[in-house]
Amino acid sequence: MARLLVVVLALLALCQLVTTKSTLLDFLLKKYRFEEMKKELAPSRFCAYSCSLDGNGVCDDGGEGSVSSMCPFGMDCTDCGIRYAYCDNTCQGAGYDWEYLVNDHVCDDGVAGDSQTDFCDFGTDCTDCGPRVKK
């Protein structure tokens, strides 16, 4: 009986850490998913020559060292070189159909100022958010 009381008290203490917007289960799932994603998600290479400004001697892809964002990230390879970013479609939003989240024309990876929701982890909604660079 004493063990059960300790477990209940521990769960109640943990519940106090969770905001009113999320359930205990959502909190635990998101924490577990984040720990797993830190192990698995690695930056990918981006380098294409598909921007009309590619080869003009000026980096225009909006990344580090570029002077403009006239080209999509990684598409001005001649001038900017190889870029590395996080970009895959492995979003596992708790309680949501991940196939819907990664192709719904809504950025869901929680990046401030650019994402409409935080259902997905950083860099895991690439179809909708595009490549992500850690700052």
Q: 43: closest CA among 114, 131, 135, 103?
A: 131
DSSP secondary structure letter of residue 45: E
Which distant-in-sequence residues (6+ apart) come within 8 Å of 132 by Cβ?
85, 86, 87, 109, 111, 122, 123, 126
pLDDT, tens digit only, all 135 positions of the chain: 666 555 555 555 555 544 444 455 555 555 455 445 444 567 888 888 989 999 999 999 998 999 999 998 899 999 999 999 988 888 876 566 666 777 888 898 888 888 888 888 888 888 898 888 886
Domain ranges of the chain: 26-42+87-135, 44-85
DSSP states of 73-87: TT--HHHH--EEEB-
